[in-house]
Amino acid sequence: MIINFTKMHGLGNDYVYVNGFEEKVSNPEELAIAISNRYFGVGADGLILINPSSIAEAQMRIFNADGSEAEMCGNGIRCAAKYACERKLIKADKPFSLPGSKDSWPGCQIETGNGVLTVGVEIDNNQVSRVCVNMGQPELAPGKIGVLLKGENIIESPIEICGKKLMMTCVSMGNPHAIFFCDDIDAIELEKLGPAIENHPLFPNRVNAHFVTAKSQTEFTMRTWERGSGITLACGTGACASCVALVLTGQIQRNCIAHLPGGDLDLNWSQYDNCVYMTGPAVEVFHGSFNWPD
C-alpha cells in the first residue's frame, strides 16, 4: 500500500502529515512508528492525520514516534491548518482575533483530542505564513493534569528525579506538562532527566518535561523532552504551559516570547478569557510516498 504524505514542521518540531480526506490509514499507531524512524522511514517526531470532522472543519489526530496517540500538539495544529487551508480542504472564513486586539485574521476550527480549537491564519501570496491558535484555558488541578498529587494545583512542588530534588510546576494544555525552572537550560542533562520524568510513577499516563529560564519579563528560553518522542526542537503546548507556570510564579508577563531551540513563539495568556494564544510559523518541507505493507 502506498501512503502519500507531506513533511512539515513548526520550529523544527517535524511531523509527517497524511490527508485523511483522501487516504485511509487503518493502523496509524504502527504507521507512526515506521514512518517516523529517522533511519529506515521518512523521519519525524510523529504522524499527524488530517481527517474530516462532524463538529469542525477538520480533525487532527497526533501519533508520537513511539506509536502512542497524543491529545494535542501546538506546532502540529499550526501546520495542519496551513495544509488544510492551502489545499482548500477547509475554508478559513470566520473572523479571528486576539482578545482586546482590533486586528483580524481569517479563521477556522479544528477538532483535536483537546476539543475543537479555533485558529487564525496569516496569508501572504496565497500561502499561510503564520498561524495563531486559541489553545484554550490551562488546567491546574492535579486530577485534570494526570499527576498523582493532592491539592488545588502543583506549583513549585518537590519531586525526586535521578537522586536529585527538583521543584516542579504542572500544567495541562489538553496534554500534561511538568515544568522545571533553572538558571542554565544548556547545563541540564536532558537525555537523562527527560525519560526519568516522563515515566515517573506520579504520572500514570506519562508527561512532557520542560526546563525553563526566564530571561526578562517578556522572554524565556526552554528545552523539551516530549512524551513518546524524546528531545524535540520545539513544543507548542509546552511553551504555552511554561508561559502559564512563569506567570503564576511572578517571573514573566502574560504577553511574552518563548525562545525554543527551533525558533520563537509569541504567547499571550489572555486576561480577558483566560485562554492561551500561540502564534508561530508553519513550514512545508517536501511531499512523498511511503510503501506501507498494511
Catalytic (active-site) positions: 73, 235
Q: Residues in the chain, how many?
A: 294
Beta-sheet strands, E only, within the chain: 2-10, 13-19, 46-51, 58-64, 69-70, 94-96, 105-112, 115-124, 127-134, 157-161, 164-172, 176-181, 208-214, 219-226, 230-232, 255-260, 263-269, 276-281, 283-291
Q: Residue 250 has which C-alpha cell?
A: 511572578
Phi, psi torsion values for 282, nearest 5 degrees: -140, 130
**167 touches 195 (CB < 8 A):** no
Secondary structure letter of residue 1 according to DSSP = -
**Cβ atoms < 10 Å from Cβ of 28:** 19
Phi, psi torsion values for 288, nearest 5 degrees: -170, -175
